[in-house]
Chain A
Amino acid sequence: MGTYGYISIIAMLCYGFMLLMFLAAKRNKIINSFLVVLLGLLFWTGGSAFMRAQFWPGCEFWYQVSLLGILLLPYAYCRFILAFGGKKSGVPGKIYLVVMLLCFWLNAQYGIFLESPNVVDKNGVSTFVYEIKPAIVVFFIPAGIFLIYLFMVLVQICKENPNIKVQYEPVVLGILALFLGNAFLGIPIFSGFPIDILSGVVNVFLLFYALIRRRLFRLQMLASSSLCYGVGFLFSILVFLNIVPFLQKIPGIQPDKNMTVYTLILAIIFLVIYTFFTFLWRLLIRSVFIREENHQAEKIREFNSAISKTLDLQEILDRTIRVMKELMDVGNIYVCMQNVPGESYRGVASDQPLSDLAFALEEENPMIQWLKEHEEPIIYRDFRYSVEYKSMWEEEKHQLDKNHTRYCAGLKDGDNLVGVVLITDSSAKKRLVYDEVELISNITSVASIAIKNARLYENACLEARTDEMTGLLNRKYFYEVLNEEFEKNKEASLALAIINVDDFKLYNQLYGVKEGDLCLQCIAGIIKSSVGDSGYTARYGGKEFAVLLPGYDLFSARNLVESIAKQIFVMNNRRTDMKLKAITVSAGISAAPYAAKNVKELMENVDLAVYHVKHSGKNGIQVFDTMFRNNKNENTTNREHIYREYESTIYALTAAIDAKDHYTFSHSTNVAYYATALATTLGMNEDMVEIIRQAALLHDVGKIGIPEYILNKAGRLTDEEYETIKGHVEASIDIIRHLPSLDYVIPAVIGHHERYDGKGYPRRIAGEDIPLTARILCVADSFDAMTSNRCYKKAFPVNVAREKLLQDAGKQFDPNLVEKFVECLDNGTISLVKAEEA
């Protein structure tokens, strides 16, 4: 075989290869028409090559095949050009096809136009001599006309759509190459060189390029199995044909004699060659073209298994970022997460440890909104052309542009968008790869599930570790931390402080449970912010807080606790709506290794220190001293009853009421009797009972300011007068407020006209929000009012008053208190105070 033969073979291989490749591709009109072009070229080149090689069944046959290919080509091109421009194939193409097929048939039958060449043997080399007849024009004329038509179609398409011109460039160049190749045949330099066939190859590659530009071809198609087998087959045929002549010459085998053996050997050899080539091709493709794909799949598999094994959110994020970075050529990757719905998405992780993560995406950001509604990632460049982009703030645009943001993908937990992955460009000129979008989609969907689990776990952990009300660590977890830290800090020091709120029960009783909770939360806040990251804080008991300070010695721990105690003491001054009692704390501090050898001892020591403070008048800080252990039981002296010292003040005030309105005075003393009796029955301690007594004596002190005619009005009060009467509660508070030492009665006084159902005055609070003392006063006050003679009404008998109480239990009164009160009335613990004779 000369150059001619080789080039023909190469061309044929190219065509065959492409034919196989596109046969395996997803077919559409353009691909189909390209296949027809390939077929035409294959017929032409293959026919001519086989003819020259004088393969079976003979020159004549291959000549006809080659001719058919040539004749088919213009039609094939026409189809391709039309399909490429998105046009329907018209009638002229079909007419041409019919005419040409007819001519071909005639020629094949009778050789009218161009007979098959004669083989002339020249010095052992066969040459093919054509006998050119004038009738050959019949072939050329329709082809020429058709080509002109084709050109016009092309011009038309380009005119209609100037932008498609660029896309047609390779196609036109291809045709031009083909044309030139054939024209050059006549030039002497090229004689003997198959320039026409070479131009055919160039042409096909140009068409192929046009298809790639149109994104109609992907490299993955190279790895399809049909292509593997096809290529294997193609190569094996070639090789086989070349080695058969040698096989025939192998001594000992006479094809004519032992036909069966010969065929068998041939078949086996063919099979071996075939398998070999198929295998070789697959290996080549795998390792060259789709190695990257495999690498990618491998990485994703690794990533999947890795993140399914962890519940650590940070690790999941890091791995997600790492796998993206490995698989794509991108700049930086940032992950932003939303902690609570409604908040913005803050930067939490990045591929660069030094990245500035202090940025956030607002939940209202149109990009976030878009991600919420869609599953696929945003290609930022495309997003900029959307209507949603219009509502983007300049600052947001600037931020995204500054980072060269390329993609933005959502991390979803069901319908919730919990996080956003921002991926930036490595260089501004990098072209977008559409496969990346799919890749990101895959990775983020896997990561989303892992993140969901990690967050669930994190939440569960947090819930199990923290105290719900204060947000501090709970007791159980605190012990864990304590043990851990003790082990860690064996060489250094570890301080532990317990802060116990003084008289907290009283506080609750004075202001109600709600205020009590609020107080604890405030204290927790103070402790937490003071300790910060330098230690652990826990709610150790109901009103006890523990502070664990690794690395702290006794001195610095004491300083810290002092500062905390000071802050707590002034905490309630900030309240403007009502005056609250100042909170004091008793704190104990101990530290290992100075004063304790193990965790148990440390805890005991601190407890002891607190105990010591409690017994030496509360409100203090005590560092554990070994001496405590020895005089544990010394502190047994009874404290002076602090509330008795205000007796004289109360007396002065009640005397004033008495002078103004004797009824109010006797009413107050009666209420004091009922209320203390009830409080005692309820099992309240001595202090509380005393407070209630004083509050009862003072509860109507504000009536001093109300005109007597209103107080003693016999008839119905006008609205205005009623409002004046209602004002006595505030008036009472105004008076008591000026006596700081008596401020503890305020909660009871201010609340004694509140109703259990929230319809009372002045604050309209309800249920347990009303301090217990006030609720007690309310019952006592009403009972006495009902059972007393007034200028406007007669006293009710006890049983009527009792019924009334029961009726209004749960409405005006605390039902539990009414129940107790009635019980006391029934069993005689409380008896009706005899009305004074006027």
Chain B
Amino acid sequence: MNLEEKLKKQQYKEIWQQYCGFLDLSMDGYMKIQRRLMEEQIQLWSNCGLGQSILKGKYPKNLDEFRKMVPLTSYEDYADVLLTKQPDMLPGNPVIWIQTTWEGGKHPIKVAPYTRSMLDTYRNNVTACLILSTSKEKGSFDVAATDKFLYALAPLPFATGLFPLALREEINIEFLPAVNDAVNMSFSERNKLGFKMAMQKDLGFFFGLGSVAYAVSLSLSSMTSGGGIKLSKLMKCKTHMILRLLQAKRRCKKENRPLLPKDLFHLKGFMVAGTDNMCYKDDLEALWGIRPMELFAGTEPSIMGTETWTRKGMYFFPDTAFYEFITEKDMMKNHEDPSYIPPTYLMDEVRPGEKYELVFTILKGGAFARYRCGDMYRCVGLENRDDETRIPRFEYVDRVPWIIDIAGFTRISENGIRSVIGLSKLPITNWVATKEYNEKNRPYLHMYVELEREALLNTAMSANILKDLLSTYFKYIDQDYRDLKKILGMDPLQVTIFTCGTFAAYEKKTGKKIHQMSPSHYELKELLDVQECLNKVR
């Protein structure tokens, strides 16, 4: 019986118990599920070709042995098997292959296999998210098969495209526009049509990347505020939507402000995913009148966690993956000295306040084991009285420092920047790159560069020229970077030119090289101070 049938039978308690019951788990109960499912996964994974390519003849029998024998892995370890899509080598039969771009990888894309049981789990957890997004308190929710869903995420073969498919197995919610039509549309076409349909049929749910949701919301506002509304358009709308539109128009005129989505739609549930959501949440709440609920998902792990009605940190689903955590300190130590093997902590060993890099092993026949996806989370508590939960709660911090992720759209690595500089043939001798936020709290990539002394004398070099040139090459090597401009309309690069010799002076002063990617706030400040001093001296 799926969600829709249960709703028909008014089994609300059962629905909550089935999908959101994991929130009531005790730490022991949670770990019991984790360990037991892991036992199954160890068997499957260790005995398959992929597992053996990493284990090299060893066969772990239990969790402890598994954690000892399996090294921490990254996509490189799987690339040969996964990119050639060899089902025989995998721990479970793949039903679908999900893909994403592989920035800085040896191949343009990454693919991840999904087994049927992974999809079953995914479906249940997606439904849990749907339910939780509408809930105001424990046990209460408001989902109906007649609801409409505006979906601002990429279609298959990207992971986000699974969402409507999985949800359709549970409840026949209408997606605006229909998934089959949406596949062949461009992003803006999809949004326009989606909004048009929403105007006619009303809207219950909205899900997108934080940044995209914001862009879409703004486009909604602009579409409605653009002068009068044609009668022919109104004719197609439902009566209550017409009433709502007229009311909203009147109210906005009175308050002298543009029409906002919240005037038109009373969302039941609002979900966002991706990075940098913190920057958009407040604005989105202002636009839609409801605070978005953050989900945590990725190509490799599918959906991993969700916030609840309190919107105060998220919980990892116990049956998607087996989670391990590396402390920030150990992670940095390992980054500087790759021979250092950082210890990992389990869900029942995390400490509140600590920042962790997530390591996961996909359960139910998944391919990835002890996989470092490069995401950082902060544990914000082990229990929560508001949610009545007894399992750890996390918040998403950002990508690992050596990857700069802008608005969940693109992931820029050190190698990426190097090749951009190389391609541009710009006389950049030294640089650091970091993610910063502008006055509107929007993220951008800030590059501080130092140029060759001769070049400064012989060629025209302003920050704007550098920015344009670098942007051109960023767009060339990174499709997502192009989309950032196209979809979000944002220009995510700023360049600051340092006085010649700044980096050398810094090194002299501190006795060490600065981290080129995301140097700490303190390091960057020191670098700026050094440059200031240099300028003063002159």
Q: Name the distance in Å between A473's Cβ and chain B's nearest Cβ.
A: 37
CB-CB under 8 A for A391 and B33, given A161-B10, A162-B144, A163-B8: yes
Most interface-central of B14, B32, B36, B39 (chain A CB within 10 A): B36
Point out the residues of chain B lying under 8 angstroms from A387, CB to CB.
17, 21-22, 24-25, 29, 33
A390 within 8 A of B: yes
Question: Main secondary structure on chain B at its contact with chain A?
Answer: helix
Please name all residues of chain B whose beta carbon is closer than 8 Å to the beta carbon of A364 when the two chains form the complex: 36
Identify which of residues 366-396 in chain A touch chain B, using a CB-to-CB cut-off of 8 Å: 366, 381-382, 385-387, 390-391, 393-395
Bound Cα distance A164, B146 (Å): 15
Q: Which residues of B contact A164 (CB under 8 A)?
A: 10
Q: How far is the CB of A374 from chain B (nearest CB, A)?
A: 15
Chain B residues 15 to 68 lying within 8 A of chain A, measured CB to CB, are 17-18, 21-22, 24-25, 29, 32-33, 36-37, 39-40
Q: Which residues of A contact B310 (CB under 8 A)?
A: none
Q: Which residues of A contact B364 (CB under 8 A)?
A: 394
Min CB gap A370→B, angstroms: 12
Which 8 residue pairs spanning A and B have beta carbons closest together? A385-B18, A391-B33, A387-B21, A393-B40, A391-B36, A390-B319, A394-B117, A163-B8
Query: Can you spell out 24 A-B residue pairs with CB atoms less than 8 angstroms apart?
Result: A162-B144, A162-B146, A163-B9, A163-B10, A381-B1, A382-B14, A385-B14, A386-B18, A386-B21, A387-B21, A387-B22, A387-B25, A387-B29, A390-B22, A390-B33, A390-B37, A391-B32, A391-B33, A391-B37, A393-B37, A393-B40, A394-B365, A395-B40, A397-B117
Decide yes or no whether A135 CB sits under 8 A from chain B.
Answer: no
Cβ-closest chain B residue relative to A164: B10
Shortest CB-to-CB span from B18 to chain A, Å, is: 4
B318 CB-CB contact with A under 8 Å = yes
Asked if B7 is an interface residue, CB under 8 A from chain A, the answer is yes
**B318 and A390 form a contact (CB under 8 A):** yes
A395 to B22, CA, bound (A): 22
Interface centre among A166, A381, A385, A394 (most CB of B within 10 A): A394
- Say yes or no: A393 contacts B36, CB within 8 Å: yes
- Specify which of A164, A391, A397 lies most central, judged by the most chain B CB atoms within 10 Å of its CB: A391
> B117 contacts A391, CB within 8 Å?
no
CA distance A161 to B37 in the complex (A): 38
Residues of the B chain whose Cβ atoms lie less than 8 Å from the Cβ of A366? 36
Q: Are the CB atoms of A385 and B17 closer together than 8 Å? A: yes
What is the CB-to-nearest-CB distance from B141 to chain A, in angstroms, rounded to a whole number? Answer: 13
Q: How far is the CB of A114 from chain B (nearest CB, A)?
A: 43
Residues of A close to B29: CB separation below 8 A: 387
Q: How many residues from A make CB contacts under 8 Å with B?
A: 18
Residues of chain B in range 73-103 having any CB-CB distance to chain A below 8 Å: none
Main secondary structure on A side of the interface with B = helix
| Contact indicator per residue, chain A 387-424, by CB within 8 Å of chain B (1) or not (0) | 10011011101000000000000000000000000000
Report A-chain residues with C-beta under 8 Å of the C-beta of B17: 385-387
CA gap between A162 and B10 in the complex, in Å: 10
A395 to B, closest residue via Cβ: B40
CB A164 to nearest CB in B, in angstroms, measures: 7
For A397, list chain B residues within 8 Å (CB): 117
Looking at the assembled complex, report how far the CB atom of A92 sits from the nearest CB atom of chain B, in whole angstroms: 26
Q: Which of B97-117 contact A (CB under 8 A)?
A: 117
Instruction: Tell me, in angstroms, the Cα distance from A366 to B7 when the chains sit together.
Output: 26
| Residues of B close to A391: CB separation below 8 A | 32-33, 36-37, 318-319
Alpha-carbon distance between A395 and B92 when the two chains are bound, in angstroms? 12
Given contacts A386-B17, A387-B17, contact A163 B7 (CB under 8 A): yes
Give B20's nearest chain A residue, CB to CB. Answer: A387
Expressed in whole angstroms, the minimum distance between the Cβ of B41 and any Cβ of chain A is 9
Tell me, in angstroms, the Cα distance from A164 to B39 when the chains sit together. 44
> What are the interface flags for A338-375 relative to B under an 8 Å C-beta threshold, 1 for contact and 0 otherwise?
00000000000000000000000000101000000000
- Bitwise, A657-696 to B at CB < 8 A (1) or not (0) is 0000000000000000000000000000000000000000
**Which residue of chain B has its CB nearest to the CB of A364?**
B36
The docked-state distance in angstroms from the alpha carbon of A534 to that of B7 is 62
CB B421 to nearest CB in A, in angstroms, measures 49
Name the distance in Å between B85's Cβ and chain A's nearest Cβ: 22
Q: Which residues of chain A have C-beta atoms less than 8 A from B319's C-beta?
A: 390-391
How far, in angstroms, from A385 to B17 measured CA to CA in the complex? 7
Q: Which residues of A contact B117 (CB under 8 A)?
A: 394, 397
Measured in the bound complex, the distance between the Cα atoms of B39 and A395 in whole Å is 12
Within 8 A of B (CB), among A150-180: 161-164, 166
In the complex, how many angstroms separate the beta carbon of B35 from the nearest chain A beta carbon?
A: 8
Kindly state the separation between the CA atoms of A163 and B1 in the bound complex, as whole angstroms: 15
Alpha-carbon gap, A364 to B364, bound state (A): 17
Contacts A162-B144, A166-B8, A387-B25: A394 and B36 contacting too (C-beta < 8 A)? Answer: no
A323 → B minimal CB distance (Å)? 30
The winner among A163, A385, A390, A394 for most chain B CB atoms within 10 A is: A390
CB distance from B317 to the nearest CB of A (A): 9
Nearest-neighbor residue (CB-CB) of A384 within chain B = B18
Complex CA gap A382/B11 in Å reads: 11
Closest to B32 in A: A391
Q: Which residue of B lies closest to A369 (CB)?
A: B32
Complex contacts, A381 vs chain B, CB 8 Å: 1
Cβ-closest chain B residue relative to A382: B14
8 other contacts beyond A385-B18, A393-B36, with CB at 8 A cut-off? A161-B10, A386-B17, A387-B22, A387-B29, A391-B32, A391-B36, A394-B40, A395-B40
Q: How far is the CA of A364 from the CA of B37 in the complex (A)?
A: 11
Chain B residues within 8 Å of A166, by CB:
8
Q: How far is the CA of A394 from the CA of B44 in the complex (A)?
A: 11
A341 to B517, CA, bound (A): 57
How far in angstroms is the closest Cβ of chain B from A518? 27
Contacts of B22 in A (CB 8 A): 387, 390
Least CB separation from B146: chain A residue: A162
User: Which residues 295-323 of B have a CB within 8 angstroms of A?
Assistant: 318-319
Chain A: minimal CB distance from B124 (Å): 8
Report the nearest A residue to B23, measured CB to CB.
A387
Min CB–CB distance A829 → chain B (angstroms): 60
Give chain B nearest CB distance to A155 CB in angstroms: 15
CA distance A163 to B9 in the complex (A): 7
Q: Residue of B at shortest CB range from A381?
A: B1
- A390 to B317, alpha carbons, bound, how many Å? 10
State the CA gap A382–B18 with chains docked (Å).
9
Shortest CB–CB separation between residue B265 and chain A, in angstroms? 19
Closest Cβ of chain A to B418, distance in Å, is 44
Q: Which residue of A lies closest to B364 (CB)?
A: A394
Q: Least Cβ distance of B37 to chain A in Å?
A: 6
Closest A residue, CB atoms, query B18: A385
Task: For the complex formed, measure the closest distance between the CB of B5 and the CB atoms of chain A, giving whole angstroms.
Answer: 10
CB distance from A373 to the nearest CB of B (A): 12
Binary A-proximity of B338-371 (CB < 8 A = 1, otherwise 0): 0000000000000000000000000011000000
* Smallest beta-carbon distance B365→chain A, Å: 7
Bound Cα distance A66, B115 (Å): 69
**Given the complex of chains A and B, what is the CA–CA distance between A395 and B41 in angstroms?**
11
CA distance A391 to B34 in the complex (A): 7
CB distance from B318 to the nearest CB of A (A): 6
Interchain CA distance A387-B33 in the complex, whole Å: 9
Distance in Å from the Cβ of B355 to the closest Cβ of chain A? 28
Residues of B within 8 A of A394 (CB): 40, 117, 364-365
Q: Complex formed: what's the CA distance from A166 to B145 in Å?
A: 15
**Cβ of B32: which chain A residues have Cβ within 8 Å of it?**
391
Tell me the B408-423 residues at the A interface (CB within 8 Å).
Answer: none
Task: Report A-chain residues with C-beta under 8 Å of the C-beta of B25.
Answer: 387
Residues of A within 8 A of B10 (CB): 161, 163-164
Identify the closest chain A residue to B1 (Cβ): A381
Contacts of A385 in B (CB 8 A): 14, 17-18
Given the complex of chains A and B, what is the CA–CA distance between A366 and B37 in angstroms?
11
Taken together as a complex, chains A and B put the C-alpha atoms of A390 and B17 apart, in Å, by 12
The answer for the CA separation of A385 and B40 in the assembled complex, in Å, is 20
Closest Cβ–Cβ distance, residue B202 to chain A (whole Å): 14
Q: Which residues of B contact A390 (CB under 8 A)?
A: 22, 33, 37, 318-319
What chain A residues lie within 8 Å of B1 (beta carbons)?
Answer: 381
